[in-house]
Amino acid sequence: MHAMRTALAGALLAACAAPALAGTVTVITSFPKDLTQAYKTAFEKANPGITLEILNKNTVSGIAYVRETPAGQRPEVFWASAPDAFEVLGRDKLLAKSADVANKDVPDKIGNYPINDPGGMYLGQALAGYGIVYNTRYIAAHKIPAPVEWKDLLAPHWFGHVGITSPSRSGTMHLTVETILQGEGWDDGWNTLLRMSGNSSAVTERSFGVPDGVNNGQFGAGPVIDFFGLSSKYSKFPVEFVYPSETAIVPANIALIDGAKNTEEGKKFIAFTLSQAGQELLLEPKISRLPVLPYSALGGKVPQGYPDPAEIARRSKVQFNADLSQTRYYVVQSLYDQTVTFRLKELQAATKAIYDAEAKLGDKGKSGKPAELLAQARKLAWAPLVDGKQAADPEFLKIFSGNKKDAAVNQQITKLEGEWNGTAKSNYEQAVKLAREAAAL
């Protein structure tokens, strides 16, 4: 018995002395299984003895997970589409430098945007643009013209046909929202977002709820990151994907997490994703992402007619500013949730009441009392509760970048969110009344 205890104690000491879970690299990512499984299979084949463990979480949950895991126990790699999320992690000192595994053949910039973080804290692993996926059969059946620009999804004939998700549930939706806000300015951008959301039939739980819904005909169209639209198209779903002129081509990044268990093998995985073999995986039909390696370095592997990120970046009207996005990261999420996600039924009702009044009144709605009432209804329904001036106020932004575990900070945020939610409900209900009053004239 004593010998058994001694042997057990020795085994426990040896286990404690061994590096924690050597041979396992844990990757926290928001990417879909088609992509992560392809990389897991290829990486494990190229690196016998290393197991890749995938933790799939949306970007916001992923950031929270890294924050809440103690140093020494964290996953090795963070892999996601949103550069502003990496800025948030960097600001919170949760990333470690990995510039030594960068692929030297990757260009410095896409358009004016650096592909790798100049501080070496994260690396561009793929390129991504933002646009609209639409179901060709659906729009033909409903006699809706194909969308080309974001503004096309604001027309009355799109009411109830758009699928959308929330920036708090999806890093890629957050980037789409920011692209519109940066392209149009805060106030006009929110007008576009509120009108598009008013036309939506649902706010999905995850980012892939939008492309899945468009693929199966639940929605006619929706805003998505390009690889969702392209992978659906190249997998033979009846869909098309279009980049509006207001888009941004930015890197989807990969980074080493500070305080991880198995840093060296984590770096091996990052290096693999940036190698020629790792970049060629992006071109598989089910993945359909834009590589960071120039097409010339990928030989004849690029499919004919595949989007050219350099060309899209050249014609894009938006020069994406990740620092600006990072400073208002949680404000944008909170404002969207309080005025759209949690008030969708009321926003839909206000949007429909305005359309019904416009259709009934025709030219009569363009002047006099009806025009005045409709203008008030539109402002109540489609103007942001936080204007551009307040959204740029450092003191206001500081509230949302504070630690939510701090009772005073949490109380301040909760109070603001409650006010926004209540005001949104009241505004939408008032918009319905005014639109109906106009229609009755």
Task: Encode pLDDT of 163-174 as tens digits.
Answer: 999 999 988 899
The structure's pTM equals 0.84
23-127+251-315: CATH topology: D-Maltodextrin-Binding Protein; domain 2 (3.40.190)
Q: Which residues contact 331 (CB under 8 A, 6 or more apart)?
A: 386, 391, 396, 397, 400
Inter-residue contact 27 to 52 (CB < 8 Å) = yes
CA distances from 189 to 179, 198, 383, 394, 423 (A): 9, 14, 10, 20, 20
Q: What pLDDT sits at residue 7? A: 44
| Average pLDDT value for residue range 313-327 | 88
Distance, CA of 155 to CA of 234 (rounded, Å)? 29
pLDDT at 181: 97
User: Long-range CB contacts (< 8 A, 24+ apart) of 417-421?
Assistant: 417/334, 417/337, 417/338, 420/334, 420/335, 420/338, 420/339, 420/385, 420/386, 421/338, 421/339, 421/342, 421/343
Domains of the chain: which residue ranges?
Answer: 23-127+251-315, 342-440
What's the pLDDT at 405? 76
Q: Which amino acid is at 21?
A: L
Q: What pLDDT, in 10s, does the model give residues 356-412?
A: 999 999 988 889 999 999 999 999 999 999 999 999 999 999 999 877 778 888 999
Give the bridge partners for 255, in sequence order: 78
Q: How far apart are CA 229 and CA 215, in angstroms?
A: 9
On the question of pLDDT at 158 being above 90, the answer is yes
* pLDDT bucket at 55, cuts 50 / 70 / 90: very high
Q: Roughly what angle, to the nearest 10 degrees, separates helices 186-198 and 368-382?
A: 90
pLDDT above 70 covers a percentage of the chain that reads 95
Mean pLDDT of 422-435: 98
Percent of the chain surpassing pLDDT 90: 78
Per-residue pLDDT reduced to its tens digit, 91-122: 999 999 999 999 999 999 998 889 999 999 99
Q: What is the pLDDT of residues 216-257, one digit of tens each?
A: 999 999 999 999 999 999 889 999 999 999 998 989 999 999
Residue 410 contacts by C-beta under 8 Å, 6 or more apart in sequence? 404
The answer to whether residue 13 scores a pLDDT higher than 70 is no
pLDDT at 22: 62
Q: CA 308, CA 291: separation in Å to the nearest integer?
A: 10
Which residue in the block uniquely carries the two structure tokens 């932004």? 397
Residue showing tokens 């999806």:
170
- Angle of helix 171-184 relative to helix 329-339, nearest 10 degrees? 100
Radius of gyration of the chain (CA): 24
Q: Which two tokens stand for residue 314?
A: 């050249």
Mean pLDDT of the residues in the chain: 92
